[in-house]
Structure 1
Amino acid sequence: MSVKPIREHAGKALLEKLLPEISGGKHKMGHAGVLVTPSVLDSTSNGSWDKILEQNPWLKTTNLVAKPDQLIKRRGKAGLIAVNKTFDEAKQWVMDRMCKEQKVEHVTGQLTHFLVEPFVPHKQEQEHYICMLSHRYHDEILFYHEGGVDVGDVDAKAERLEIPTGEALTEATVTQKLLTKLNPAKQGNMASFICSLYKFYTDLHFAYLEINPLVMLDDNTVVPLDMAAKLDETANFLTAQKWGELDWPPPFGRAAYPEEALIRDMDGRTGASLKLTILNEKGRVWTMVAGGGASVVYADTVADYGMGHELANYGEYSGAPSTEETFVYAKTLLSLMMKYKHPEGKFLIIGGGIANFTDVAATFTGLIKALQEYADDIKENKIKILIRRAGPNYLEGLRKVKAASDKLGLGIKVYGPETHITAIIPMALGLVDPLPEPDLSAPAGPPVRKMIDLKGAKPVGKGHPPAPAGTKHTLVTATPDTTSIVYGMQNRAVQGMLDFDYMCKRKKPSVEAMIFPFSGCLPVKFYWGTEEILMPVYTTTKEAVQKHPNTSVFVNFASFRSVHETTLEAMNYTNLKTIAIIAEGVPEQQTRDIIKVAEQKGVGIIGPATVGGIKPGCLRIGNTGGMSTTQLDNIVMSRLYRPGSVAYVSKSGGMSNELNNIVARNSDGVYEGVAIGPGLKAFRCLQVVWLTLYHYRTSAVLHVGKVVTATLADDPKAKMLLLLGEVGGLDEYDLIEAKKKGRITKPVIAWCVGTCASCFTTEVQFGHAGAQARGDMETAAAKNKAMKEAGFFVPDSFDKLPDMINQVYTQLVMEGEIVETPEGETPQVPMDYTWAKKLGMIRKPANFISSISDDRGEELTYCGMSISDVFTKDIGIGGVLSLLWFRRQLPEYCTKFIEMILMVTADHGPAVSGAHNTIVTARA
């Protein structure tokens, strides 16, 4: 879920428009007020004061309240509310502050938007407090019979009511749970209003709605005086008509840049993910990072090295952006970097995790185009550029960038997966000497792992204590026989899954069938090693499940618009025990609905917004581990074709690939792992299973911590656990509680990304939907501290994570808990012809050659004459036919004769035949 705040005016306008309809006419609001913008400074604009008065004549007839509408908290205490003013007084008060800088607490920003609304005379005892917010399994309403600026700690004082997902709210429940301290004479009307307000909250997909004070007048009219609200932006496709045109304001203190709007607009028109937030336009450290999780990690590391105050931007480009999109993104960043010179120069860090399916060379082609355009400016501004990237076709991408750098004289240093993801940051900042650049002539193979010298001793491990009585879950893990059904015509992902199966020496493919509602039941051809196989394709889930009753995994590639419907349908079939939801942008309410049904039916869910999961030697879901390219480069490099000893869970799909790489270089490899998606937080936490390839045999509701401990903590083959969490949510505390209770006895290495959040003066929504703290306990720093105190192995920074993994792994080997074995032969998978040809590794003669027309070059040719020459020389239809029929250009009299024949024979009626014969005979 992408939770975004809206202006107070927008929230009140929605309430004014929809409350009468929702409440059946019982409740209504007065005027929502008028939003005053800098347009009032231009008397000729549509937003001038004259136009505002013309459209809202009531402004002259009532007293008013004026206040900034820019997501500013505690405006009253900051002296930013003008109360009980005439129109002229309110106008003057606004004009005195319009486009002026204002300091609010520790943040300074420019006041540009004001709300002017009717003043509502009332008594202090008529003020109340209400707040609605969403949690994992329920919504919650907080109500306090007193309200206003001095309401105090409502978390401690307010009455609370939880509404489980899918359940209706009744007036009787509201009265009994929330209104016991309210005047009995007002309880009925207030209960009715709260029920209507909650329906408004759910119908419009709010994630947070706070009204303080909420005033109930003597005539029982209910008026919201101050409102703060946040919407689930992913629900736009469901509620766009009700929302209308909404403004998504930046936090106070951070200006809205046109460059941000450009990237946001481009993001809305593409399937890729493009984000840009400008933090400090004069900063020296700029980043261009591929991947949401990686973008947070890079920002953290910059802050860890003491340069958080110089971090200029936050953003990401991921999800396979096109060459042109990457060019525009890179060009935008470079243009921003050139605005302000710095005598010591600047740094551009171009990084990212190991891509799953993005063609790195294609994106870097766009990057190179931008570097060529700004080459002179880059040198003039003394910008130092370092690149670290990996994934499909990364070698070609790095080679191209290096060649362009040498030609342009930019001095760019490039690195691949052999270099730790954040290692380029201290190199760029000049804190350590740059590492030697890698050999780009061949892919990086599996890291050479030296077995740990036990110095002759052969210790025997003691094993880990069993799970406490009554806590062990009976779950079934994925095996080499587990099979799946894939929803959606995702041929590339399916081929990648089959190649992984073949590499792992499975006896049969892990994909039994595909579902595609928009075509007939024609099978699709795939490769099983070097052999071709046919995969059945069905138009309905029902038919696919009936014909493949032994399948237990459902991989859902449906779009965010239809994934709710298709997932609920899939859960109707009892043999499907695990469902992976790949789509991003699934609305919060639909997600929670899926959670509820999944728990009722004992189905495990991965996602939404996940790249999938992987269990080496058994099963791979979707594009996890990287798409099938040159012999599954990343699968080989990370040794994912055979199980290791480390099991992990990651909130980031892109970072899961990076974790595979880190684990492989610092231990004997991955036992299993899953990217659960960025929704693991208090506002959105799916019922996930550690790999979610464990099948329920119990109807118990399992929280993440319990599931982790019930599977990998009990699995003797998983020797150590790794958790990559993030800022936002409280679920990491489930693991802490399990550790304290002795439920987890194996060593756990844990780190939460997002520690850089403390460097920002304004709230930042990171690339991940869940990566945003809504309280001190949800900060990454607090979680890391709590996990360390609970006995987890927590490094000082993400940059130190590889060392921590190696340290714990070495200790387990020395204790005999892990017994190392020599590496066997690396399995091979035949390379796909299309990809190999694209890389220029093979060539193949054409099966058919035409000596007449040829479209293999830059343009079509007719018997050696280019199509452009055909039009330039105006050879006409006769000339074209002479080239195609006679393989040469005939004289003009011949081509005229051909054209005359065509003109005469254009009508094929019987009357023409005589004339045609006469012409032919005369010519003969």
Structure 2
Amino acid sequence: MSAKAISEAKGKELLNKFLNGSVKNKFAIVKEDTDIESLTSQHSWLESEKLVCKPDQLIKRRGKLGLIKAGADFYGIKEWLGNKLGKEFHIGACKGRLKNFIIEPFVQHQQNEEFYICIYSHRTADTILFHHEGGIDIGDVDAKAVKLEVPVGSDLTEDRIKSTLLTNAPDNSKECLIKFILSLYTAYRDLHFTYLEINPLVFTGGKIYILDLAAKIDQCAEYLCKAKWGEVEFPPPFGRDALPEEAYIAELDAKSGASLKLTILNKSGRIWTMVAGGGASVIYADTICDLGGTSELANYGEYSGAPSEQQTYEYAKTLLGLMTEQIHPDGKILIVGGGIANFTNVAATFKGIVRALREYQQKLIEGKVAIYVRRAGPNYQEGLRIMRELGNTLGVPIHVFGPETHMTSIVSMALGKKEIPQSPKQMHTTANFLLPTGGSPSSSRRESLSEVKTSSKTSSLSQVVTGDQSGIRATTTLFTNRTKCIIWGMQQRAVQGMLDFDYVCSRKDPSVVAMIYPFTGDHKQKFYWGHKEILIPVYKSMADAMGKHPTADVLVSFASLRSAYDSTVETMSYPQIKTIAIIAEGIPENLTRQLIKIADEKGVSIIGPATVGGVKPGCFKIGNTGGMLDNILASKLYRPGSVSYVSRSGGMSNELNNIISLNTNGVFEGVAIGGDRYPGTVFLDHIMRYQNEADVKMIVVLGEVGGTEEYRIIQAIKDGQITKPIVAWCIGTCAKMFTSEVQFGHAGACANAEAETAVEKNKALKEVGCHVPTSFDELGQVIGDLYKKLVNDGVIVPQEEVPPPTVPMDFTWARELGLIRKPASFMTSICDERGQELLYAGIPITDIFKEDMGIGGVLSLLWFQRRLPRYATKFIEMCLMVTADHGPAVSGAHNTIVCARAGKDLVSSLASGLLTIGDRFGGALDAAAKQFSDAYESKLIPMEFVNQMRKEGKLIMGIGHRVKSINNPDKRVVILRDYAQKNFPLTPLLDYASEVEKITTSKKPNLILNVDGFIGVAFVDLLNNCGCFTREESKDFVDIGALNGLFVLGRSMGFIGHFLDQKRLKQGLYRHPWDDISYIMPETTGLMGTDTDNV
């Protein structure tokens, strides 16, 4: 999410609604499918006024390009459009089709009536530029225009507009312009614009007209402004068509808590990427372009934020569909890359990708696709394993690597710049729970700092930054091994990770002292501290949490983007909190800027928004930073090193942990300031802390395209404020190589000026003495070379490694990794709700509806674990229909009615009715099926069966009816018998029961085969002869009571009906009438003799 450009038509529509002081814009939109002739019926002014027409596709300098037709009538506009609409047009190296135009009334005016106005937002203020000479020949606006800044939280006044902006404006226009600018700024702020340029703004005839407009709005503010904005489409830059696949991924992204992005750069390209992480996705694009693959790079995109297996499958399927549409003579390359994840389950995401790859197996083979995989993070071993196994059967080469391989090495391999290793080196982890032998890690020359060497230089807290820092936040050390924090949000997994980190760092006590969760009452949550179980209090009220834990000075906020602002403002009202980490991504920029202002006033350091946090080895980590414990140990984050880093990307911070641990003695502190345009603290805030920390010997900075914060580092180096060696690299170098603008993974990753490009930043950093690699691929080598130099110079003295404490692995995670097994307490074979889609006996719920299986089909899956023929499922439905109810007089309905009238709820009333079902009422299905089946299989003829039951004094279950007889048959049985005889393959047991019925009715006409008996024997015929079951399986279903289930399920519908009927009729408490009760009291005379004195 980020500031996104909107069409001119949408911008003018918004200003029409919310702007006062200007003439309302009339306009008509013309697209390729627009019937131009019918426009006049919708916009009558088209035929009566002079018009102006221009493309509305985010094209700059349209007048200079000859793309504006002005002063023509409707016929002239149609003729001009005929030569432009749908035609290809070149703007420099960029080419695209002209397909969206806007027609407006032509405003006759003089050159001296044109003005220029622009409003744009930055970290601390909104800037308004105004020039009294507007139009296409305005030239260098920054040099000419008058500038007025409105600080965040301040209001714009008429006096400031008049005294600052309008000093050169004609006197006759000033009054109107003042009111217009004031109204324009109000609309700008309320509608969450981030950029709004009007050129020219015309004042003629005492009125103000907006002629040309360019605007961007903050997409993150949609939840605040949806009612005001209405439906907003964000058009792609000119030269890049919006594809339906891109729209589909955008829709998935909008419906998911994860991040899913896809931009098609060149549909015919040879190199396709499927990268995890916003920062990593930029780095992969950079590396491809640096190695000469710009013209063949097909797409930019990323998936991150722990998407589910199904979401990753949908993303991969969409990408593979585009990739395999066209065949490339040299074959295609698919790079499945990513850094070391902090919390995303790599195996789960890879399972989704593997499903998609299998689905497109044949097309991948036909397209001669080669796949290169590099990934790490939680459960990455399992993810890489299933990828390697896929390589054995997919039919295309798959090269799989983990954290032992540099992140972008697979790009060099894919483009033939580097050899593909046959057996990648294995990475040794110090995670004792992953090593069967439990051995201690080997010693290394890249170890922690000598306490002896640095003790004279080290202080527990950094000194306050002094001197002219130009707005640099003055702060002490953020975290120590005594830091106490409060967690906002119910994030048990993150909290447990923090406690495990604390334990492995040999902290004396946990860093998390409390949690805040306003949606439940106060309670306690259980966590592990090493082997012990501990309880951490959870508070509904922030005031209670702060009051009971006054030593807590850090708050880690997992609040959603909608509640993060309010909860952070509340947090800053407590002076004890000095540092706040905001994890949420997508907070509106205006709200973030207000948070920054409040934090500056109160001296609070904010890390984020849109961050994973940060880590100080041996002391404290924020939330999920550093990933799982095996990665914490592998990257030696349990003790401090000599290198501190600051990065925008949270995902890349974990990659930096890995790179630094492989090439140096490890990390002293690392912070990911966040990917949003306005991070709470900036690079320089943290670098100045590192500069004043004696134990930090070198600094790594991972910047990116967009913004100017890196230039503050450069200035600080020039001013002598920073003297420690810095290794720096700004990602996004590929941006200049694209012919159209690309918004990268982070909201702030988009250059608005030449100086904001990554190439210019890297150049400037190198010029002031920073160690800048030629590409990210060489970052580790440059860090390693500088570290060796510092070791050789005696600045760093490596020490022997001290093994960390052993931490037990969580049972659930160990089971997921396949390290342990445990017999399940429950087993089920009919339903699985764990995946993206509900499964009934293995059949997805969407398929059940797609094939119209009905309730009978669902019962066949849930009760019998297989799909029965359509005639069988229809018979099940018929059985439910005929058993649904049989009036209020039967015992079950009677009980339900009595309970309902006693004021009981639906479930209680239904249960009372169901509890009457047994051998005497409704429970004869199973018994009838068993009796008739046993007789038939014993080869007793019907007469022998009847005689035997009479001799044993047993009733024949399923025979007999209180009302119906052979002369007045039960229509339910007639309907079912007719269906079974017409549709069942065979009905031997039904035929047998019919012969028995002839014998019993000859003695008494109401001894007919009733509905219970009929369903029982007919269902046995169905099970035995439908071809889906063996005889043993059929018998098992009868024995376990499946047939009675039909009556219970069917009659439940009727009981519920009776309950609703009684409630609807508002029937009172039922009391049985006395005259329907026969009172028979025992005789008392003589029972106790004649002597009753003692009674």
TM-score (norm 2): 0.75
Uncovered stretches (5+) of structure 1, i.e. residues with no partner: 21-26, 41-47, 689-702, 916-924
Confirm or deny: 8 A CA contact 1:414 1:437 kept in the other structure: no
What's 2:219 paired with?
A: 233
Residue 238 of structure 2 corresponds to residue 252 of structure 1? yes
User: AA paired with 1:99?
Assistant: G
- Residues 612, 891 of structure 1: alpha-carbon distance in 2 compared, 3 angstrom cutoff: farther
Deviation, 1:232, is 0.7
Uncovered stretches (5+) of structure 2, i.e. residues with no partner: 433-440, 843-860, 881-916, 933-955, 959-1011, 1014-1040, 1059-1069, 1078-1095
Deviation, 1:126, is 0.2
- Residues 333, 704 of structure 1: alpha-carbon distance in 2 compared, 3 angstrom cutoff: closer
Query: What's the CA shift string for 1:316-370, capped at 9, x where partnerless?
Result: 0111111111111111111111222111111111000111111111111111111
Deviation, 1:742, is 1.2
Deviation, 1:16, is 1.3
Confirm or deny: 8 A CA contact 1:449 1:665 kept in the other structure: no
Confirm or deny: 8 A CA contact 2:404 2:427 kept in the other structure: no
Show the 5 A alignment for 1:379-528: 379-438=365-424, 450-451=444-445, 470=467, 475-528=476-529
Confirm or deny: 8 A CA contact 2:273 2:336 kept in the other structure: yes
Show the 5 A alignment for 1:529-544: 529-544=530-545
Aligned counterpart for 2:201 among listed residues 214, 231, 248:
214
Residue 777 of structure 2 aligns to a residue in which SS? Answer: helix
* 2-structure distance, mates of 1:147, 1:412: 58
What's 1:685 paired with?
A: 678
Confirm or deny: 8 A CA contact 1:468 1:743 kept in the other structure: no
* 2-structure distance, mates of 1:362, 1:282: 30
* 1-structure distance, mates of 2:604, 2:924: 64
- Residues 654, 371 of structure 1: alpha-carbon distance in 2 compared, 3 angstrom cutoff: same
Q: 610-619 or 902-911, which moves further after superposition?
A: 902-911
Query: What's the CA shift string for 1:249-287, capped at 9, x where partnerless?
Result: 111111111111111111111111110111111111111
* 1-structure distance, mates of 2:563, 2:79: 51
What's 2:178 paired with?
A: 191
User: AA paired with 2:667?
Assistant: V
* 1-structure distance, mates of 2:397, 2:340: 24
Aligned counterpart for 1:377 among listed residues 363, 388, 401:
363
Identity %: 51
Aligned counterpart for 2:143 among listed residues 127, 148, 156:
156
- Residues 854, 541 of structure 1: alpha-carbon distance in 2 compared, 3 angstrom cutoff: closer
- Residues 441, 366 of structure 1: alpha-carbon distance in 2 compared, 3 angstrom cutoff: farther
Residue 311 of structure 2 corresponds to residue 325 of structure 1? yes
* 1-structure distance, mates of 2:833, 2:587: 44
Residue 618 of structure 2 corresponds to residue 621 of structure 1? no
Deviation, 1:216, is 0.5
Aligned counterpart for 1:36 among listed residues 30, 52, 67:
30
What's 1:78 paired with?
A: 65
What's 1:868 paired with?
A: 864
- Residues 844, 608 of structure 1: alpha-carbon distance in 2 compared, 3 angstrom cutoff: same
- Residues 257, 155 of structure 1: alpha-carbon distance in 2 compared, 3 angstrom cutoff: same
What's 1:351 paired with?
A: 337
- Residues 466, 623 of structure 1: alpha-carbon distance in 2 compared, 3 angstrom cutoff: closer
* 1-structure distance, mates of 2:277, 2:478: 30
Confirm or deny: 8 A CA contact 1:259 1:332 kept in the other structure: yes
Residue 700 of structure 2 aligns to a residue in which SS? Answer: strand
- Residues 397, 190 of structure 1: alpha-carbon distance in 2 compared, 3 angstrom cutoff: same
User: AA paired with 2:649?
Assistant: S
Deviation, 1:848, is 8.0
Residue 706 of structure 2 aligns to a residue in which SS? Answer: coil
Residue 425 of structure 1 aligns to a residue in which SS? Answer: helix
Residue 106 of structure 2 corresponds to residue 106 of structure 1? no
Pick the structure with greater CA Rg: 2
* 2-structure distance, mates of 1:567, 1:34: 45
* 2-structure distance, mates of 1:709, 1:738: 10
Confirm or deny: 8 A CA contact 1:467 1:743 kept in the other structure: no
What's 1:24 paired with?
A: none
Aligned counterpart for 2:662 among listed residues 646, 651, 665:
665
What's 2:701 paired with?
A: 723
* 2-structure distance, mates of 1:197, 1:154: 19
Show the 5 A alignment for 1:574-653: 574-626=575-627, 628=628, 632-653=629-650
Confirm or deny: 8 A CA contact 1:452 1:810 kept in the other structure: no
What's 1:830 paired with?
A: 808
Deviation, 1:32, is 3.4
Query: What's the CA shift string for 1:364-418, capped at 9, x where partnerless?
Result: 1111111111111111111110100111111111111111220222220100111
* 1-structure distance, mates of 2:827, 2:761: 66
Confirm or deny: 8 A CA contact 2:581 2:606 kept in the other structure: yes
What's 1:289 paired with?
A: 275
* 1-structure distance, mates of 2:160, 2:487: 44
Query: What's the CA shift string for 1:39-93, capped at 9, x where partnerless?
Result: 12xxxxxxx2244222111111111000000011111111110001111111221
User: AA paired with 1:868?
Assistant: F
- Residues 444, 260 of structure 1: alpha-carbon distance in 2 compared, 3 angstrom cutoff: farther
* 2-structure distance, mates of 1:441, 1:891: 69
Query: What's the CA shift string for 1:478-501, capped at 9, x where partnerless?
Result: 111111111111111111111111
Confirm or deny: 8 A CA contact 2:54 2:68 kept in the other structure: yes
Residue 11 of structure 1 aligns to a residue in which SS? Answer: helix
- Residues 337, 604 of structure 1: alpha-carbon distance in 2 compared, 3 angstrom cutoff: same
Residue 103 of structure 2 corresponds to residue 116 of structure 1? yes
Deviation, 1:525, is 1.2
- Residues 889, 450 of structure 1: alpha-carbon distance in 2 compared, 3 angstrom cutoff: farther
Q: 758-767 or 902-911, which moves further after superposition?
A: 902-911
Residue 689 of structure 2 corresponds to residue 711 of structure 1? yes
* 1-structure distance, mates of 2:419, 2:9: 54
Count of matched residue positions in the alignment of Structure 1 and Structure 2: 870
What's 1:23 paired with?
A: none
Confirm or deny: 8 A CA contact 1:315 1:767 kept in the other structure: yes
Residue 724 of structure 2 corresponds to residue 746 of structure 1? yes
User: AA paired with 1:580?
Assistant: A
Confirm or deny: 8 A CA contact 1:721 1:747 kept in the other structure: yes
User: AA paired with 2:614?
Assistant: G
What's 1:334 paired with?
A: 320
* 2-structure distance, mates of 1:14, 1:720: 51
- Residues 385, 186 of structure 1: alpha-carbon distance in 2 compared, 3 angstrom cutoff: same
User: AA paired with 1:833?
Assistant: F
- Residues 353, 884 of structure 1: alpha-carbon distance in 2 compared, 3 angstrom cutoff: farther
TM-score (norm 1): 0.88
- Residues 193, 435 of structure 1: alpha-carbon distance in 2 compared, 3 angstrom cutoff: same
Deviation, 1:597, is 0.5
Q: 903-912 or 124-133, which moves further after superposition?
A: 903-912
User: AA paired with 1:18?
Assistant: F
- Residues 406, 867 of structure 1: alpha-carbon distance in 2 compared, 3 angstrom cutoff: same
User: AA paired with 2:343?
Assistant: F
- Residues 368, 87 of structure 1: alpha-carbon distance in 2 compared, 3 angstrom cutoff: same
* 1-structure distance, mates of 2:290, 2:157: 51
* 1-structure distance, mates of 2:457, 2:537: 46
Q: Which has the higher contact order (CA 8 A, sep 6+)?
A: 1
Query: What's the CA shift string for 1:828-876, capped at 9, x where partnerless?
Result: 221111122223322234568999x99999969xxxx972269979799
What's 1:696 paired with?
A: none
What's 1:65 paired with?
A: 52
* 2-structure distance, mates of 1:850, 1:401: 29
Q: 870-879 or 294-303, which moves further after superposition?
A: 870-879
* 1-structure distance, mates of 2:866, 2:224: 53
Q: 179-188 or 128-137, which moves further after superposition?
A: 179-188
Confirm or deny: 8 A CA contact 1:385 1:411 kept in the other structure: yes
What's 2:673 paired with?
A: 676
Residue 778 of structure 2 corresponds to residue 785 of structure 1? no
Confirm or deny: 8 A CA contact 1:16 1:32 kept in the other structure: no
Query: What root-mean-square deviation, in Å, do the aligned CA atoms of Structure 1 and Structure 2 show?
Result: 3.5
Deviation, 1:19, is 1.2
What's 1:800 paired with?
A: 778
Deviation, 1:440, is 8.6
Deviation, 1:888, is 14
Confirm or deny: 8 A CA contact 2:464 2:475 kept in the other structure: no
